[in-house]
Amino acid sequence: MGEQDDVRAAVAYLRGLEEVNAERVALVGYSFGAAVAVRAAGADLRAFIAVSLPTMMPLAGVQIGCPALFVSGAEDEYSDADDLAEFVRGLGPQAELKLLPGLGHFWFGVEHDLPGIVAPFLKAHLGAPANV
């Protein structure tokens, strides 16, 4: 898929920048971006985060070779909470799920809460304070 190749190329470009520590790269995607990124995430990443991953997208055969955090609203119109929980469980112990009660797909009014949710995960897996 072209989008996955684009993500891999962007990560490779980022790693090639002098000011970037190539050993401390994470990949984050939201909605369709999360669906593309989850298929492009390689074992060379230190961390992966998917926000509001649509479970209506094909997820069969996806494997994640790094610590992964999936954040979604329990009332997400595009992501069935039970299907997402089953998918995350299938990824193994390196994957965790945070379901937020009452939240839909678009994070209206609570988007400012997202950095507080993902920053501890990034700090734990990148080994330094996360600037989110």
CATH number at residue 25: 3.40.50.1820
Domain that holds residue 103: 2-126
Instruction: Express each pLDDT in 59-69 by its tens digit.
Output: 999 999 999 99
Instruction: Express each pLDDT in 27-82 by its tens digit.
Output: 999 999 999 999 999 888 999 999 999 999 999 999 999 999 999 999 999 999 99
Q: Is 131 inside any structural domain?
A: no
Q: What is the pLDDT confidence band of residue 102, given thresholds at 50, 70 and 90?
A: very high
Residue 127 has pLDDT above 90, yes or no: no
Q: Is 79 inside any structural domain?
A: yes
Q: Is 46 inside any structural domain?
A: yes
Q: Is 9 inside any structural domain?
A: yes
Q: Is 49 inside any structural domain?
A: yes
Q: Is 119 inside any structural domain?
A: yes
pTM for the complete prediction? 0.93
Q: Quick one: pLDDT at residue 130?
A: 52
Number of domains observed in the structure of the chain: 1
- Our CA dihedral for 61, 64, 1, 86, rounded to 10 degrees, sits at 50
The string of DSSP codes covering 88-116 is HHHT-TTEEEEEETT--SS-TTTGGGHHH
Q: Is 132 inside any structural domain?
A: no
Q: Is 33 inside any structural domain?
A: yes
Percentage of the chain surpassing pLDDT 70?
A: 95
